[in-house]
Amino acid sequence: MNSLGIDIGGTSVKGVAWDGEVWKQAQSETYAHPERAEIVRAVRSVIEQLKADADQRKSAGVCLPGRSAGDSSCIELSVNLPALNGWAFGAMFDAFGIDPESTVCSDALAAGLDFVRTEQLGGRAACISLGTGVGLSVFDDGVPVGIGARGIGHLGMVSVGTGQTLEAVVGVRALRARFADAVHDGIGAMGDDDPVIRAIVQAVGVVHAIYVPRSVVLLGGVGLALRAQRDRLDGLIRAQHCPVADPDWVLRFGASAFHAAMGAARLANDPRS
């Protein structure tokens, strides 16, 4: 089945279209603190770049950052994109030019699903999405683990010391404030005691203690940049000696900035995923 995946992030919109054989990818121009009209323009520009046909628009999945309302009618609270707050999904999707009944998911769930299915990971996998925000998804043999309608919690809101949350330390906005346009180079030059490295190590320790994964996967734009720190992170995480961690756990990294959009397209084809 043809499908469309849209990932509305804190700084841009990414999209993919699947025609049964090939993934096409597109990305909007970047934005900062957009209003609804700017979000609509960004989404429509991505759909236009993809030249998504009617069948793909009818089978669309959309990643939206934030906490869904109890009745799943809208985003109740989006810290990084407050323009989404209270915007009814049906009206939003109509403005985008896609099916009002399109599938809604978190970027963390969608990105994790795409990575786990693509890599065919067995056992338990904990996928940490690191972008403007920080999210977590967990899978057992490719099946999402949940603890209720609102997901498994908000890892980005965990305190990592000095009164700061994980998201405030490792999120894209914090990194751009430090490194401007040289975020990848800045991450590559970090040492053991850098606040970003320490925060990631602490967060992974929390995930080990709660979920005991066989695989820990770092996804998102920041996750991609952290591949340059693979050996450092692996060593520091193991040095924590979490007593309940799986002794055979493996640290993995995403391969694409489009995992979330591709996962959204997968979910649109099969919401039971």
Contact 251, 225 (CB under 8 A): no
Q: Is 239 left (phi over 0), alpha (psi -120 to 50) or beta?
A: alpha
The confidence score (pLDDT) of residue 271 equals 57
CATH number of 3-108+258-269, picked from 3.40.50.740, 3.40.50.720, 3.40.50.2300, 3.30.420.40: 3.30.420.40
Q: Where are the domains of the chain?
A: 3-108+258-269, 120-253
pTM: 0.93
Specify the pLDDT at position 150: 62
Mean pLDDT by 10 residues, the chain (273 residues): 90 93 94 96 97 89 91 91 97 96 94 96 97 94 82 84 90 94 96 97 96 98 97 96 94 97 91 55
Q: What CATH class does 120-253 carry?
A: alpha beta
What type of residue is 108?
A
Beta strand pairing call for 143-144 and 134-140: antiparallel
Q: Helix 230-239 and helix 195-211: axis angle, to 10°?
A: 60
So what's the pLDDT on residue 149?
A: 62
Helix or strand (DSSP H, E) at 16: strand 13-18
